[in-house]
């Protein structure tokens, strides 16, 4: 059972964990002695500077960068955002909030941490669309979710917005302004 889960995890996490990333581009043709091509050759193991640069800048297998996996990053970001939102709500010890408010607050933290703008969505999540939610009590729960989302977005923006971009050199920062 554990072996099967490990194989599934390695398959979902990308080829870089299995050591298949970062393959150099080398031609399959035999060396003719001049080795002036950009790709070099296998026979004399000579690689040109262009080939070394290309291989160092290439993505791992399946078009993925060997050091970054978006799926894993999003899972960790969601987890950390929910944890931080829970900590922020627990700081308000006297405040009693409903579970719907808490869900909206946490969802706002997740959305802002993943790069969202923090605007309150037009519709609540799908669990507020059911038949039992289309009652006065259901509408009150949806409004609690919206209030929690609004408060969560306001609390999450100062934490996440300054760092939601990948850091770049000062030269790039000046060109973007």
**Using one digit for the tens of pLDDT, what is the confidence trace for 113-167?**
999 989 999 999 999 999 988 999 999 999 999 999 999 999 999 998 888 777 7
What's the CA gap between 68 and 49, in Å, rounded? Answer: 25
- Indicate the pTM of the whole model: 0.59
The dihedrals phi and psi of 146, each to the nearest 5 degrees, come to: -60, -40
| pLDDT given at position 174 | 56
The C-alpha atoms of residue 136 and residue 148 are separated, in whole angstroms, by: 18
**C-beta of residue 148 within 8 angstroms of C-beta of residue 101:** yes
């Amino acid at each position: 059972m554990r072996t099967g889960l490990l194989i599934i995890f390695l398959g979902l996490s990308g080829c870089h964990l299995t050591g298949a990333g970062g393959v150099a581009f080398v031609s399959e043709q035999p060396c003719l002695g001049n080795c002036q091509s950009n790709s070099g050759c296998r026979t004399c193991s000579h690689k040109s500077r262009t080939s070394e640069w290309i291989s160092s800048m290439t993505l791992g297998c399946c078009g993925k960068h060997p050091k970054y996996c978006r799926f894993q990053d999003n899972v960790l970001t969601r987890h950390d955002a929910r944890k931080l939102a829970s900590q922020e709500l627990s700081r308000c010890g006297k405040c009693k909030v409903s579970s719907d408010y808490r869900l909206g607050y946490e969802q706002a933290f997740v959305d802002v941490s993943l790069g969202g703008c923090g605007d309150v969505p037009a519709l609540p999540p799908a669990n507020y669309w059911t038949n039992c939610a289309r009652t006065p009590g259901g509408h009150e729960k949806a409004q609690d979710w919206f209030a929690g989302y609004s408060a969560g977005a306001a609390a999450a923006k100062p934490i996440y917005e300054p760092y939601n971009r990948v850091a770049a050199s000062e030269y790039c920062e000046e060109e973007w302004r």
